[in-house]
A and B are shown apart, each in its own frame.
Chain A
Amino acid sequence: MKEKVVLASSLCKQYQISNLTIEALKNLDMEVEKGEFISIHGPSGAGKTTLLNIIGGLDKPTSGKIVVFGHDLGTYDENFLATFRCAYVGFVFQSYNLISTLTAIENIAFAVELAGWPGDRIGKRSENLLKLVGLEHRANHFPAQLSGGEQQRVAFARALANDPPLLLADEPTGNLDVETGLEIVRILEKTKSEGKTVIVATHDERILKLANRTLRLHDGRIIDTNE
């Protein structure tokens, strides 16, 4: 039996906006095994981003339990969660979310540094990651000077900086055209082949095809699972 990387039980998440309570996740249960490639899809507002945020330790559930790599994330403080993210999680956002004041290589180096790499190896590691996504010629460009596809590739390189066992990607091709999206799919394919656990929220058919399992989320609940 494979190791359980993610274990969610009765997961609920509510947001309060003025007098309105929005239930983003409702009693959600899920398990992810090591090395699995999970895709999550569903309509806008189904709770995909919220689920990824909770698995990545960016957000805490209102109730229920979320255990990732044996850590019950609902019980930890912000400092521990930061350490946890450094050690286990790589995150790719739909809107790239690069740090605008750092160049492409610095964005990656920042994450490498946070992951605790020794100072003399940060540069080399960052260059290798940039090469991996084919952007070594854009190393000293700032995010505002990169195209959407290039920014997303840098974001992938940054997410892989700490060599995370779990990669979370939220609509990684959502803002990209078909051609540019293909490059992202290739990176995801490579990540999968390295045996990392990947959870992707997506509507992109090409990514869905890569998945071992596809979860269909609707109104905060998993309504369908395709193996």
Chain B
Amino acid sequence: MSEISFPIKDLTRRKFQTGLTILGLTICASATIFIVIFGSNIGFEVAFLTVGGRLTTGFFNIFSRFILVVGLLNIIAGAFITSFLVYMAMSERVRDIGVMKSAGCLSGSILGYFITELSILVFLSCIAGTIFGIGAYYISINSLNALGFSISQVLSLWAIILIFLILIFVSHIFGALPIIKAAEVKPAQALSPLYSLGTTFELGRTVPSKLGFTFKVAYRNLVRRKSATRQAIICLAVVLTLTTVTIAGGMIARQTTTNYVERAIGRDVVLVGHPTLTGRYVNLLSQFFEAKEMGPINYLNSDFFISESLVLKLGNISGVHKVDPRLVLGASVLEIPGIIPDPHDPKQAIIIGDSRRDEALILGVKPEEVVNEWLIMGRVLSKADQKSTIIGDSLALEMFDNPQNQSIKVFEEIFDIVGVCLDPLNNGKVVYMPLNILSTALGQTGYNLLFLKIDPSQRSQVLAEIENELVGKDLEVVELNEILGKHVNFLDHIWSFVMFLPLFSLVTATLCLLSYLMLSIAGQQREFGIMRALGAKPRRVIKIIFMQALLITLISGAIGISVGLFVTFAFLIPEPVISHYTLVSVTGWLLLALSLLCLSSLYPAMKAVKKSVVSAIYSA
């Protein structure tokens, strides 16, 4: 028989298994391709927000790291699932290989036949998967855009080709392993039920005998197919890691980024200042979610200054918890290179950084009065600080190599950088320094903006009193809660893109489990028929299959969720913020995902019991 006709005949003879393998591989390939191009598109969108003048570099880094990890895990999961399905399909050939060898077929020919078969399966599935993946991508993008999002369609061909090649390569490696192993097996061994079913000798001692038959049969069937079960567990664990990262990581990251913004802007903070300047400040905050052109402004216009007596009066209003007067202005800042020990030779020193220049918003603050509680790398300013600053994340990441070992030059004075804060103001291009130092450098005393932290329970009363104090003055009061709400909505909007991904990883996990169960059920069909012939009701068979799915899901869930949480906390989110609600939501979603996985096993189980007893016994 020719090299090609045997594989084709063999594949068509095993219609069910071939169909199932091709279907599983196709779906897996399409899901992987879809998630990677969809994820990179979302990544591009998020990146575009930064390029287009929105978000801050720090926030972008959180999003891009998240999308990168999810994308990477998807490729790994795709490779594992593909290899698993191919492994399962090829493991079924072991007995045939034994028959062929006993009939005198040479090992080389056998390898040729089955590797060709493997290639046909893999190429067909990967090509179909790529086509479906691209189709699903276009459908999803168009559906999301129809729902009000505005995602551009950027198809990354390189990503598609890369994933296609990875899947082909991995499938061949993992698919070839059982073939090579089987081709080396002696004919008598390959034909022995002990080989194809796995040794059963130790099974009797592994399960306490008092456990019911349902559990016993389910457990032993899993153990008997040790290799396949192990592969299924690894495969599902990887997919569940991905699901955990996207669900738990996504939800925690969503809450954390929202919290960062809340801390940076401050909740229940009102801004008092000249309308031109308060408008300007609000616009600078809005840059985070809405790029705006802003004309030049003289921050030091004498009309903008707030008198010390007014600051004192406003601070004395009952319900005002904190008074944070600031001197704000725009200025050019210069990077000052730093000197650090050479990491390769600690005795030597190296210069880091350059002399980059950028425009930034300079804020002179009284360190002990600051209303913001930024996420900060380093430390906040203290009262004793003289030549120290903290700078915004975008400025730090775009202008400095190692900000805390470098300095910044503002108004011809050089300052140390003691901290880098995540701040949406002016898209993170901000420099905070002690007010007295700034005043000295400028030769200008006083404040042009005043921030008041108020008691939310007395909001109306406090606002009325503030407004009362401002009567007759060219000043206004602006509540920052409203703009904070817009920031939170914007972040929610981006996360809703990203959170779209777990749905697909869950579908992939379900398919992975279904493929394993279907192939496993196909191998157990005869025994299920026997049980029913003995008087077992269909429900009993369903219970056994469900128990198998439950065991696999629980084991892989325990591994996948632990690894997923580790990845989330170790790499994804610095200083995660987890509320009771988030914890309950994450637990709920993960339980739902595991339950859905287990429940999906009911489909092949129902399918298995629909088969008549006779056909189950005799056709298997």
Contacts and interface: CB of A to CB of B under 8 A. Distances in A.
A58 B533 CA distance: 6
B534 A102 contact: no
A144 B193 contact: yes
Contacts of B526: 97
Given A93-B617, A97-B617, A144-B193, A86 B535 contact: yes
B536 interface: yes
Interface in B157-209: 193-194, 197, 200-201, 203-204
A100 interface: yes
Given A101-B200, A110-B213, A145-B201, A83 B535 contact: yes
A103 B204 contact: yes
A99 B531 contact: yes
A142 interface: yes
Contacts of A99: 217, 527, 530-531
Contact of B537 (A82, A113, A145, A158): A82
B535 A100 contact: no
A101 B220 contact: yes
Contact of A59 (B194, B221, B534, B612): B612
A144 B224 CA distance: 12
Interface in A32-64: 53, 56, 58-59
A75 interface: no
Interface residues of A, number: 33
B216, B534, B613, B617: residue with the most chain A Cβ atoms closer than 10 Å: B534
A58 B194 CA distance: 29
A21 interface: no
Given A101-B221, A106-B213, A145-B200, A158 B534 contact: yes
B614 interface: yes
A152 interface: no
B204 A85 contact: no
A79 interface: yes
Nearest to A97: B530
A78 interface: yes
A142 B220 CA distance: 12
Given A97-B530, A97-B617, A102-B217, A142 B538 contact: no
Contacts of A162: 535
B453 interface: no
B614 A53 contact: yes
Contact of B197 (A83, A91, A100): A100
A91 B204 contact: no
A135 interface: no
Contacts of A59: 612-614
Given A101-B200, A106-B213, A144-B197, A111 B612 contact: no
Interface in A175-192: none
B197 A82 contact: no
A109 B216 CA distance: 12
A24 to B, nearest CB: 11
B217 A79 contact: no
B487 interface: no
Contact of A82 (B220, B224, B536, B612): B536
Given A56-B533, A82-B538, A101-B220, A142 B617 contact: no
Nearest to A86: B535
A140 B217 contact: no
B532 interface: yes
Interface in A56-77: 56, 58-59
B534 A91 contact: yes
B242 to A, nearest CB: 32
B533 A111 contact: no
A58 B217 contact: no
Interface of B: 193-194, 197, 200-201, 203-204, 213, 216-217, 220-221, 224, 526-527, 530-538, 609, 612-614, 617
9 contacts: A53-B614, A58-B533, A78-B532, A85-B533, A99-B217, A101-B200, A142-B204, A144-B193, A145-B201
Interface of A: 53, 56, 58-59, 78-79, 82-83, 85-87, 91, 93, 97-103, 106, 109-111, 113-115, 140, 142, 144-145, 158, 162
What are the 5 A-B residue pairs with the smallest beta carbon separation, nearest first? A86-B535, A101-B220, A142-B200, A85-B535, A114-B535
Given A82-B535, A145-B201, 6 more contacts: A78-B537, A78-B538, A79-B538, A99-B217, A142-B201, A144-B194
